[in-house]
Amino acid sequence: MRQTVLGRTVRGIVLVLFGLFFFFPLYAMLDFSTRDFQGGRTGEAWSQLLQDPTLTSAIIASLVLALLTVVGMLVLLVPTMVWVRLRVPKAKRLVEFLCLLPLTIPALVIVVGMRNVYSWVGYLVGDSIYTLAFVYVVLVLPFAYRAIDNSLSTIDVVTLSEAARSLGAGWGTVITRVVVPNIGPGLLSAAFVSVALVLGEYTIASLTNYENLQVVIALLGKSEARTSVAASLATLMFAMVLLLLLSYVGRGRSVREGKSQ
């Protein structure tokens, strides 16, 4: 009993310390972004987020990039992973290795390596910030692969697919009507992580001279420090909300599974 109370106290203290550690910088950012240098508080920096055309277009560009990345990642990864599980299970390790590879390669190296590829991308689809979606799809692969793979492991993909096939379903129907509805939480996790990663990406956009949200925030930091910090805080909070949603989705699933047992 005494140990339980002691344990709870220690856990509480640790939680508070970690809370302070994580939230103090956010508080400092909020404080700085709302500080009026003549004294008092002002929401000017936050209102600038929607009024500054450069920042607004960067926000839109990053959100569109996030959307394109999520769509590209899902279209590329889901059929591939399902196909590997169904038809070529021996290739699972190879696909996993390829998907995890971007984790081990520094962004700078990726940019240098992709310069030649991107000259072709620019030639074929035009010079647009949205072409970054191609490289972002590669960047999010390690995180998305894990999330989807975990979800696929919770169902018997082979048997469900064969059952659907024997009932008359083609491969497209098997994936869209049988597999995807059963790996929803994994797909959501993969999508949330991808969005968070794209919204926070700076290095590649900067080195390829595109102005996404993080690049504009960095530029703003040199002239409009408070607006820059407000934009950073907004992005962080957005990513945090996404991650909270992700953990909620995960918890919802485990609660449902718990009930079913």
Partner 1 sequence: MTTQSAAQPSTQSSPGVEVALQNLVRTYGSVQALAGFDLTIEPGEMVALLGPSGCGKTTALRILAGLERADEGQVVVGGKVLTDVPANKRDMGMVFQAYSLFPHMTVLENVAFGLKLRGVGTKQRAARGMEVLALVGLDAQHNRYAHQLSGGQQQRVALARALAIEPSVLLLDEPLSALDAKVRTQLREEIRRVQVEVGRTTVFVTHDQEEALAIADRVGVMSNGRLEQIAAPQELYERPRTRFVAEFVGLTNRLPAEVDGDSATVLGSRMPVLEGSVTGRQGLALVRPEALGIARNADGNGFAITSSFLGSLSRISCRLDTGEEVVVQSSSGEAAGLAPGDRVQVTPRAVPVLVVAAD
Number of residues that bind partner 1 (CB under 8 A): 19
What are φ and ψ of residue 148, in 5° steps? Answer: -70, -40
Cβ at position 89, least distance to partner 1 in Å: 13
DSSP state of 35: B
By beta-carbon proximity to partner 1, the closer residue of 182 and 206 is: 182
Cβ(214)–Cβ(200) under 8 Å? yes
Cβ at position 199, least distance to partner 1 in Å: 30
Per-residue contact string for residues 154-173; x = within reach of partner 1 by CB under 8 A: -xx--xx-xxxxxxxxx--x
Residues in Cβ contact with 165 at an 8 Å cutoff, skipping those fewer than 6 apart: 174
Residue 6 and residue 14: Cα distance in Å, rounded?
A: 12
Q: According to the binding rule CB under 8 A, does residue 91 interact with partner 1? A: no
Cβ at position 167, least distance to partner 1 in Å: 4
Cβ(130)–Cβ(71) under 8 Å? no
By beta-carbon proximity to partner 1, the closer residue of 178 and 231 is: 178
By beta-carbon proximity to partner 1, the closer residue of 36 and 156 is: 156
* CB neighbourhood size of 100 (10 A): 14
Candidates 3, 4, 209, 260: give the one binding partner 1 (CB under 8 A): 260
Residue 62 and residue 231: Cα distance in Å, rounded?
A: 12
By beta-carbon proximity to partner 1, the closer residue of 4 and 166 is: 166
Secondary structure of residue 126 in the 3-state scheme: coil
Residue 136 and residue 151: Cα distance in Å, rounded?
A: 22
By beta-carbon proximity to partner 1, the closer residue of 2 and 259 is: 259
Cβ at position 184, least distance to partner 1 in Å: 8
Q: Interface residues with partner 1 (CB under 8 A)? A: 155-156, 159-160, 162-170, 173, 178, 181-182, 260-261
